[in-house]
A and B are shown apart, each in its own frame.
Chain A
């Protein structure tokens, strides 16, 4: 897994609530058997109109917006457990998703793929969306070590929470399998005690 420490980038605003994983990657694209290439179909049915033309009203298609941070409305990633959603976002180029609330399974999947979910307050989310809308060149700074997210060249800053174990994993690029494999003996002992 790729390491994550700090990131400074412009951001793409997606002020929609309850964005479910069916929108992030529609089910018809889940037939692949590897992890690559899902970015092409990220938000497919929002990025393209019914006739296949590009939907210029959608933030990801608006030239003024770019960057590796996605700022989205409340309850991001709800619905299906498909990890393909996290793969689609990372493959599209996102490294951070900011929202005022994340669905559990998506949050876990993101963390397992080096995609940092940054949960901010409702008020701070409004500030971010507003700042980006006012000036699409606005840069956000995410510091995982200090657990802060701020708007560059302003005093807007907020602390965010992250599980300390997951933080260590992200900073070092470790994944859970490495850790669990190191506990095999304990796991076998547990099995023996139960039977």
Chain B
């Protein structure tokens, strides 16, 4: 029997049929939807008089344009309110479970689905959002789709797809103190570029990922799309099973045991061939920071901005108002965002709180701490992190995508820098004219305390077990 990768095993188990010399029909186990990329798909089905095929395999949440303060009040922005209302109406009319604003399970789609046990190993999961790659942390095939494809899954619970090529990124060794999963993925993207993964599905392998928590694995897989890969996966193991076990929608009892037995068969066979492979050493990775307008433009926090003579590179630096060869250390920063589907889970707030405890927020800094879900928010309160933040002069906001894409009121003003734990530093991503610097929650927390970028490795901060 031929050796198969984790991706092959999950993919092959979901192929319904194949068109000769064409795409395959892939069955989708879970379809996650939100307010921004679903309305046109609902409209299309309605216009064509096509019913939703499997409403019980769809889960909806409101996250992209929701406010992060006063969620108990009606949403102020007319268009956002209308979009949210339409989601509620569409879900109701089609018998789809919706965790709307204020619900105890509401949150960013890529935070709430894993924490509810909706995301499980071996599944195929899609959502009209490119960061659906997050769910690959569980050893599932998860990827973002366009709205036409949302309509296709509504109509048939399937998609027509050409099987992507396989890519493996292996990182072995032990990460240095202060190097977080976010630094690992920013390092990988800086090394291989923003389109190295295009056309591929990526598997992350090696000690570093094996020793990572599920939260960390989600951070890594989340940013697979930033190197062009439709999705990223990590083989399910005991860490995965322990995380899934007993969650709201996870299989229970004997069912769970049976599932675990199957999930254990999923890891890539020894000797399986990948179309492309990259290998890195954990010891080479340092806390990272970006200086440009795509996530591949990242450097070690202590490095200087590289000097390329290329029009797109220069356009990017001009937008950021940085100079070639410049260091970002000591750069004054007035905005800090800790949140987004990349870094808004409990561990991210634990590490930020560890750094912040006993210190005070810099006066020049406006900091937005936005949990990924209602459950994360509750946990922050229960663990006493909220009071640590408040004692240091921070205010905890309510869950949502927030300043990651600035569809709501959480916008970084024009020309301002924001050290952000989100995933994209594109021009205007956090508000028109805003300048985003991507970093880990630790670097973001340190920036908020100092009011400028500092070398966290030079401080006496030692992270405790999170």
Contacts and interface: CB of A to CB of B under 8 A. Distances in A.
A50 B22 contact: no
A20 interface: yes
B86 A18 contact: no
B82 A187 contact: no
A22 B429 contact: yes
Interface stretch (A62-70, A81-89, A148-156): A81-89
A90 interface: no
A12 to B, nearest CB: 17
Interface in B182-218: 194-195, 198-199
Nearest to A86: B146
Nearest to B17: A186
B198 A103 contact: yes
Contact of B25 (A16, A86, A183): A183
A50 to B, nearest CB: 6
A187 B156 contact: yes
Interface string B121-137: 00000001110000000
Given A82-B37, A164-B22, A177-B50, A33 B195 contact: no
Looking at chain B's contact residues, the main secondary structure is loop
Contacts of B145: 81, 105, 108
B428 A22 contact: yes
Given A16-B312, A177-B152, A45 B144 contact: no
A28 B36 CA distance: 11
B364 interface: no
A175 B50 CA distance: 14
A79 interface: yes
Q: Which of A26, A35, A186 has the most CB of B within 10 A?
A: A26
A35 B159 CA distance: 21
A165 B19 contact: yes
Interface string A105-119: 100110011000000
Nearest to B156: A180
A140 B25 CA distance: 35
A139 B203 CA distance: 44
Contacts, number: 178
Given A79-B130, A83-B147, A180 B40 contact: no
Contact of B144 (A32, A34, A81): A81
Interface residues of A, number: 53
B23 interface: yes
A105 B224 CA distance: 13
Contact of A81 (B25, B37, B199, B406): B37
A104 interface: yes
Nearest to A190: B16
Interface in A30-53: 30-35, 45, 50
B65 interface: yes
A105 B149 CA distance: 10
A134 interface: no
B237 interface: no
B285 interface: no
B22 A163 contact: yes
Contacts of A83: 37, 40, 128, 146-148
Interface in B48-77: 48, 50, 53, 64-65, 77
Contacts of A79: 130, 225, 424, 426
Interface of B: 16-17, 19, 21-23, 25, 27, 36-37, 39-40, 43-44, 48, 50, 53, 64-65, 77, 79-80, 82-83, 86, 128-130, 144-149, 151-152, 155-160, 162, 164, 194-195, 198-199, 225, 228, 230, 293-294, 311-312, 315, 405-407, 414, 424, 426-429, 432-433
19 contacts: A18-B294, A20-B294, A26-B428, A27-B406, A31-B79, A45-B428, A50-B432, A78-B228, A79-B130, A81-B129, A109-B147, A109-B148, A112-B148, A165-B21, A176-B149, A177-B152, A179-B160, A187-B53, A187-B156
Interface of A: 15-18, 20, 22-23, 26-28, 30-35, 45, 50, 73-75, 78-84, 86, 101-105, 108-109, 112-113, 163-165, 175-177, 179-181, 183-184, 186-187, 190-191
